[in-house]
Each structure stands twice: as structure tokens, then as C-alpha cells.
Amino acid sequence: MFKSLQTYKLLFLRLILIVIAIEFSMYFFKIDLIFTGVFGFCVVFLLVREMYFYIKNFVQIYDKTISSILQDDFSSDFSKHKFNKTYDDLFHLYQTLKGRQNEQISRDIIYRSILNNIESGVIILEKQETDWTIFLMNDYFSNHFKVPKVSKWKYLKNQVPSLCEVIEEDDFHEIKTAIDISINQESKQTFVLQASRTEIFEKEYCIVLLDSIQNVVEKKEKDAWINLMKVISHELLNSITPIRSICQNLQDLVEQDSLSNEDLEDIKTSVETMLRRSDHLQKFVEGYRKLAMLPSPKKQKTDVTDLIENALQIMNPLLKNEGIEVLNTISIKHSVWADTQQFEQVFINLLTNSLYALKNTFQKQIVLSAEARENRLFIKIADNGMGIEKEIEDKIFLPFFTTRNEGAGIGLTLSKNIIEAHGGYISHKRENEKTVFEICLIEE
């Protein structure tokens, strides 16, 4: 503001000088000083000319700067004018906006780089009046679906019609579904489609995400194998390392010329330790074989109530010894196609799991319930034990994972495998201060 006032003052002073020069020139003509008057008008001409070029240069620089700002073109160089204090505020504004644009460009490059490196298809659509345009398409989507980076929705629809039709059916609003897409007339692939709509600065955008189910499954399988290998290697090393150490010690003892009573006692202890570790290793291998060689279920129409009653009869002595109250609230008859022996094993495993969870609980209680919804049967086994720690929630179904010293770590894994072999699933949650294992099965 201060520099603008200075500019106006300079213009005002120039105007005053021109008016004064004109007055003096007129005065010299009146007193017949012709040559002096002519000289005065020459001075006036020079002053007017200088003012014209000053204003012209001033307006041109302002026009050029404002035009560059409006067109987002910050390539102009005004360094030759940097010593002219008149333009300080203007150039400061120009440099500030230039810096912000460079920062925004850097952010855009980083965001696009992130989007182009994730293994999910991403399209961002922008609404233009009544039509939609492609605001952004990442490299994964373009390469995986063999689609050029088009800008019009109709071109994308020609390339991937099955995807576009689903989005159009929901009018570009919230979607979360699975979709089969054929790429270049090849075999269909299944993707998880998620779409959301948002409004930013009075502009509407639709964000579409596509994840290949095959990739997700492969990643889960890879993670599962890595975790399994960790458990197996841990168990094998825990048994092999002490056995090898004992063998080395025994070798040193038998190489002696004579053995004392103390040496014989060491040999006896070493053999007992080796036998104990071998038994542990044998149980581990048997547990692995039980998981890996689970027979196909021999399904028959079975009443769930009978399965649970049989399991409770088997577990009843143990539950009574621990002072556990069992509330079986399942009264309605529910039939499922199941292998009775395998499912009895599932209920025994879950009841055993609850039994150990209630070890340090004062009022011990297990509640069994069932509910039928949408041709599905949901069976719940809940206990008021300490619950599952958050740190291990995602590990409880992993093979050989256990928090008990005497546990084999296959009970929950085996139960999960049996239920999945019957076309169902098992999950766990915390509900009303109870740990709940819920089994979902198709009801007959």
C-alpha cells in the first residue's frame, strides 16, 4: 500500500511539473519572449513523452504479471526490474504464488507416484455438467486392463463395459461389491469394486478402487506360509538344538576309559531328556499331519442340538471339576449337513478353549446359543474369561500358535479347517464383556 502511494505521488508530481511548464511557456509568449516560450513547450513535450513511457512501461509490467498469474504461467523473469522499488509488492505476490504452485506441483507428483505404485486399480472421475471425465487413472489400472489413459467416460466404457455399467447403475454413488471383468476377451477375473462420491469446491468427484481377489488371496496365502514356516522352524530348533547338545555330551562321556557313577547318572538324565524332546517333536509332527491330512467330511443330516449335547457329555467331568456353569440356551431344533465326528471335535475344542480361558475367573460361565437368519445358522460359544489380548487376535487361528505351555496350538486351527470344509466360517469377538466364538453354517 505504501509503495502504491509513492507511485501515485510520482505521477502527481509529474503532472504538476507539466502544468507549471505549460504556464511558464504561456507567460513567456505573452511577454513576447518567443524563443523562451518555444523552449518551454519543448520541455513540456519531453515531460509528457517521459510520463507516457513511464505509464506505458508500468501498465505493461502489471499486465504481464497479472496475465502470468491468471494463466498459471510462472516462467517469466522480472529480475531486471528487481531494483525498481515501485514493483516490490507486485513481484512479491508473483514469487509467493510461484512458490505455492511449485509446492503444489511437487505434491501432485508425489501423490501420482504413490497412486501409480500401488497394486490396486484407481480411477478418479470428475463431473462436467451432465457428463463425467477421467480426472486420474493410475498405471496399474491402465496396464492391468490394457486401457489407454483416456479422458472421456464414453471411451473408458468402450474398453471396460462391465465395470462402467455397474458404476452407472448406482449413478456413480457408493458401491462395494465383487465384479467379474474379462480383459481382452481372456478368462474372467474377480475384483473387489469400491466407489465413493465426494464434493470438493463445488465440484463432484467419484473415486473408484479395484482390487484383484486373486492377488489378495495369494498375499494371504504367502503370509500364512511364512508364519507357518516360522512356527515349524521354531519348534524343530527347540527340539533339535538340545538333542544335539546332549548327543555331543554323551559322545564325550563314552570316549572316556571308565565311567563313574556320576557319569552314568548324566547319561541316564540325558537319555530321558532326549526321549522327552523326541516325544514333543513327535506330537508336533502328528499335529501337523492331523491338520494337513484332514479327511473330507462325510456329511449327513444332523441335529446341531445333539452334536452339542454329545460334546457337553464328554466335557462335563472337566467342566464340573473346574466349577464352570454351562448355560445351553439352544432349544429349537436346527439341522445341518455335517460330519458328526468332526463337528463334535470342533465343539470339544471350543469348550476346551473356554475352560482354559476361565482358569483365573471367579464366577466361571459358558453360554451356548444359536440363531437362524437368511438360511444360515449362527452358533455362539461365549465365556466370561479374561479374553484374547489385542496383540494376538490375528494369530489365534494360526497353526501351532498357543499361549499355553502344554498346548499344541492346533485346536482352533483344526476347528477352522473343519468348519470351512463344511462351507461355513468361524469368527471371534468381544460382546457384553464375554469372549464369543461364532460359527456360521448353511441350515438345512
Worst-scoring range by mean pLDDT, 50-54, 211-215, 234-238?
A: 234-238
Position 292 scores a pLDDT of 54
**Mean pLDDT computed over 315-333:** 82
**Averaged over 59-82, what is the pLDDT?**
69
Buried b (16+ CB within 10 A) or exposed e, 318-329: ebeeeebebeee
Q: Environment class of residue 312 by beta-carbon count within 10 Å: exposed (0-12), middle (13-18) or buried (19+)?
A: middle
Q: Where are the domains of the chain?
A: 2-96, 118-214, 216-292, 300-442
pLDDT tier, 318 (very low <50, low <70, confident <90, very high otherwise): confident
Q: How confident is the model at residue 1 (pLDDT cuts 50, 70, 90)?
A: very low
Checking if the pLDDT of 335 tops 50, the result is yes
Average pLDDT over residues 70-80: 67
Query: Which of 65-69, 72-76, 196-200: highest mean pLDDT?
Result: 196-200
Three-state DSSP at 404 gives coil
Q: Is the predicted pLDDT of residue 98 greater than 50, yes or no?
A: yes
Q: Which helix (H) or strand (E) holds 134?
A: strand 131-137
Distance CA 412, CA 289 (A): 15
Percent pLDDT > 70 in the chain is 77
Tell me the residue length of the chain: 444
- 260 — pLDDT class (breaks 50, 70, 90): confident
7-21, 281-295, 354-368: lowest mean pLDDT where?
281-295
Q: How confident is the model at residue 2 (pLDDT cuts 50, 70, 90)?
A: very low
Question: What is the average per-residue pLDDT within 65-91?
Answer: 66
Domains 118-214 and 216-292 share a fold: no
Mean pLDDT of 78-102: 68
**pLDDT > 70? residue 85:** no
**146: three-class secondary structure by DSSP:** coil
| Between 404 and 312, the higher pLDDT residue | 312
| Helix or strand holding residue 220 (H, E) | helix 213-254
- State the amino acid at position 156 in one-letter form: L
Q: How far apart are CA 233 and CA 239, in angstroms?
A: 10
Whole-angstrom distance, CA of residue 426 vs CA of residue 419: 7
Q: How do strand 203-212 and strand 300-303 relate by DSSP bridges?
A: unpaired
* Residue 242, pLDDT above cutoff 80: no
Place of cell 511557456: 25
> What sign results for the dihedral spanned by CA atoms 41, 43, 46, 48?
negative
User: Using only C-alpha atoms, what is the Rg of the chain?
Assistant: 42
pTM for the whole thing? 0.43
Contacts of 24 (CB under 8 A, 6+ apart): 40
**How far is it, in rounded angstroms, from Cα 156 to Cα 121?**
14
Average pLDDT of span 90-94? 72
Mean pLDDT in residue range 193-216: 82
Place of cell 501420482: 112
Rounded to the nearest 10 degrees, what angle do helices 261-292 and 411-421 cross at? 20
**CA 189 to chain CA centroid, nearest Å:** 22
Other residues' Cβ atoms within 10 Å of the Cβ of residue 60: 10
| Mean pLDDT score, 29-52 | 78
DSSP code at position 152: B
Evaluate the CA torsion angle 409, 411, 412, 416 in order and state its sign. Answer: positive
Domain 300-442 matching CATH 3.30.565.10: the answer reads yes
- Cell readout for 434 is 464375554
Q: For 119-161, how does the pLDDT look when each residue is reduced to its tens digit (9 = 90+)?
A: 788 888 888 888 888 888 888 888 888 888 878 888 888 888 8
Determine the Cα–Cα distance for residues 236 and 344; give it in Å rounded to an integer.
Answer: 31
Helix (H) / strand (E) element for 147: namely none
Q: Is the dihedral of CA 332, 335, 341, 347 positive or negative?
A: negative
Residue 163: count other Cβ atoms within 10 Å of its Cβ.
22
**Is 216-292 assigned to CATH 1.10.287?**
yes
340-357 vs 411-421: helix crossing angle, rounded to 10: 140
Mean pLDDT of all residues belonging to the chain: 76
Q: What pLDDT was estimated at residue 361?
A: 81
Q: What is the pLDDT of residue 55?
A: 75
**Cβ-contact 338, 302 below 8 angstroms:** yes
State the amino acid at position 268 in one-letter form.
K
Fold of 118-214: Beta-Lactamase (3.30.450)
Note the pLDDT of residue 24: 76
Question: Assign residue 364 a region: left if phi > 0, alpha if psi is -120 to 50, beta otherwise?
Answer: beta
**How far apart are the C-alpha atoms of 383 and 358, rounded to whole Å?**
7
> CB neighbours (10 Å) of residue 317?
9
Q: Please write the tens of the pLDDT for every residue from 369-424.
A: 888 877 788 888 888 887 777 776 766 776 666 666 555 566 777 788 888 888 88
SS3 category, 377: strand
Task: Please give the DSSP secondary-structure letter assigned to residue 81.
Answer: G
pLDDT in tens, 226-241: 666 766 666 666 667 7
Low-confidence winner among 107-121, 172-186, 302-316, 422-436 (lowest mean pLDDT)? 172-186
